[in-house]
Structure 1
Amino acid sequence: MNARQRVPVAGEDGLRRAELAALMRPALPALVDGIVTEVWRAVPVYARPGSYGRVTRHGVECAVALFVDLVQDPMAPRDELYETCRRLGAGEAHEGRTLDDLQAAYRVGTRVGWHWIMRLGRRHQLSSATMARLAEMLFGYADELARMSIRGHREALDGTQAGLRRRLLRLVTGPGTVPDELLTELAAAAGWPVPPEVVAVAVEEPSDVSWGPDVLADVDAQHPYLLLPAPVDALCVSRLGTRVAVGPPTEPGAAAHSLRWARAALRLAADGALPDVPVTWCAEHLTTLWLLLDEHLTDQVARRELAPLTQFPDRTRRRLGETLLSWLQNGGNSEKIAVDLSVHPQTVRYRVRQLKQAFGARLEDPDARFAMQTALRASGLRTAQSR
């Protein structure tokens, strides 16, 4: 499922995502019972007394709850459920079984879930567009859960080294700091020569490119990525054949930071805030990443620092904002500002008088000037991103 999906869009059936999720939640206990009953009937092995039945019910409860969470917020965290699915797949491998029964259980759960959604749609007269979005989301979601179980099954069977390498990658790019002794021990077990510095590479689409022992990769994940020794060249990452973003170099124990910046850059390139090129190098766009990584905070800074501009009409406010940014960047030189904005110097002087009346002594405060310039730069980047 694409993390950027939005289901449903505002305005469909007069509902927002939160309202649609609210319609679904009261019926979830009955849905869980229905799915569990059908799975036990269709795949009797999961109806055996003991842990099998408990695990089945727990997995179904997690899956339906997360699905509704994703209807409300497509960025809701999936980690807990994905780990459950991986364990289900690994459990089948440890039992010496194929994934046939588990895949059958997923198909049954998806079928029951879709029938439930159709009844919900009829009851609340949801539009065909909303139903189509929900169908797309449900079947993509089911595929993703199945992929997680396939991964868990494969990791249990490969026993190990490939599984160890994926787990090592998740560890060093996850939250928290990995102690040097633990990193050294796990890297030795996984056959990964620890480099002095690494870069994380975020990948737009899955890839089947094979890599040497010095690269840790998870390129069939929902958000594919790699960890390579630094420095890395464009030829190396261009082998992936899709848009990628290369994070800044870090020590191996801090690889999570490189991955965070790489994923942010990949998202901004897709949204148009960064150039549309095959390889985006974070090191070339650090200021843009810094200004746009936290949009809420950027908005707060703009509201605080540019409040005097709100007294003007929209068109005047835009022109004064452009003039203020150029004035700050050019040290108040009217001739340079006029060239920068392609206007007459007299126009610049008139606008500057307006700015001085609006901002007063704050224009002479170095801290305020820095904050205003930062807010204006961020605002300009956000405008470019929305075009």
Structure 2
Amino acid sequence: MAVPTPQGRPDGTGPAPVVPPELAGPLRTRLEAVADEVEEEVRRQVPEYGRLGDDAYGRHLRSGVVQALTLFVDHIADPRGRGEAIAATYHELGRGEALEGRSLDALQSALRVGGLHAWRLLGRTAEDLGLDSAVVSALGELAFQTVHEVAEAAAAGYAEARLRDSDELERRRRRLLDLLLGDGPVSPEAVQDLAHTEAARSLRWATRALGLMGRGILPRQGVVRCADHLSVLVLHSDEPLLAQLEARALAPLDAASEGQRPRLAETLLAWLLSGSNVPDVAARLHVHPQTVRYRLRQLEKLFGDALHDPGTRLDLILSLRAAALREQGGITP
């Protein structure tokens, strides 16, 4: 296959990667198959996309993968193409994450994982076609340039939506404050229109948070923002139900001695939160890894195979976290 003469980068920093435009054809025929494998790899490595049936993260995954691969191949076919339509798609993906109140971490992780896996697969195709190492290397550079482009578009959409949402919320707050502090009569309809920033829900959260602060479960000093402690608020939204969950999930610990129980519970929570990584658990608890392994053997005897069941692990994390928060506040169940 003939290799074209370098034409130079668009920014003038040096020669452009040497990628034969005719390579776009063979790669395009593999696009759907590669998209299948990339989608599977993203679902495997990025937890948010691995939740089967979770439309919040999964509904745009396939489209996003195909769009990014298409942009990569389009850049090969025409290096001067700018791919505005595909960039707009990722701009909307980033904007959607912000509007849903999620961070951009999952989407960025998916781009990194998907980009690397796609490059492995497409690079293998290039090698099968007998291209020399310079072309394969140039393809790699182009692949990561493509990931960078779509990641930037997603970040721009995310930032734009966050800014608009923040500006609108602040504007409504100022208008509501002016209305309430003004001299004239205030109609309930006007207050309702400006306060549908969910004041009733905010008051309910604040009341619950105040109760948890009084018990030491939430910090007692400084300003406590409910948005910073959502998991604790959810965990304590139905305390009788939480008590039943704890009693069932932590029942195997009753077989341990009273002195062993706190250490085993602490080790189990650290082990679950660290992804079963013994050195991480040891560092978190400031003990020797061998001590962690000894305690884990005891926990295996108490819980058996249940320790490796995803549903049981979630119940244990919730129960152990609730117990740890109570202990932190000096509260006896």
**TM-score, length basis structure 1:** 0.37
Q: Is the helix fraction higher in 1 or 2?
A: 2
Please report the TM-score for the alignment, with normalisation by the length of structure 2: 0.43
**RCO greater where, 1 or 2, for CA within 8 Å and sep 6 or more?**
2
Q: Per residue, is there more strand in 1 or in 2?
A: 1
